[in-house]
Amino acid sequence: MIRKFARMKPPPELLVGFFSDTSRWPRWMPGVVEARTIRRTMDSELVNVTQDIMGRRFRQRFEHRIVGQTVRQRQVKGVFKGWRATWSFDPAPERRGTTLCCELDFDLGMMGMMMPTRAVQREIDRIFEATVAGAERELRHWGADRDDDHGEAPLLEVYPSQHGLEVWIAGKRVARC
């Protein structure tokens, strides 16, 4: 399992709604060419997603479910042997924005035999950073990126959390112990 973290200015409630709006993914999510809802219920969606990654076009079907302040995604049909992602949106310290956590668990199957682990890790890092940057860019259009009460994030922050001591530099978590 891979865990990635970022700090974003909007509150968790807004980000849960934003990340859950699958119809807007092509506007800001890296490589997403199309996201089409097949079926929708009160708390979940079945979505066909077409995405260009590493020079290849992938077509997948996801179950997309909202549970509290968490968005869970699971591949139902696609190129991977297995794929699950959990996006958690927790209030940042002193309620200044959101700590975004993405937990990604996947099995590349046969495709994994052809790709070095380091290349996969670099691509995941690139996609996560581009996802956060794309979300921030789109949220600026919504006017949801302002932090009028507190200004920009400090260069260095250290604070206790439910997971232990966290160290943030320039708005990005760099360590937890």
For residue 160, the model assigns a pLDDT of 60
Residue matched to tokens 């959101």: 98
For residue 149, the model assigns a pLDDT of 45
CATH code at 82? 3.30.530.20
Structure tokens at 42: 């009160």
10 Å Cβ neighbour count for 31?
Answer: 19
Structure tokens at 165: 């001591």
Residue ranges making up the domain that contains 106:
2-176
For residue 73, the model assigns a pLDDT of 94
Q: Splitting the chain (177 residues) into consecutive groups of 10 residues, what average pLDDT does each group show?
A: 90 90 91 94 91 86 92 89 90 86 83 66 87 90 54 55 62 66
Q: How many domains, the chain?
A: 1
Q: pTM for this one?
A: 0.74
For residue 141, the model assigns a pLDDT of 74
Structure tokens at 73: 């995604």
For residue 156, the model assigns a pLDDT of 60
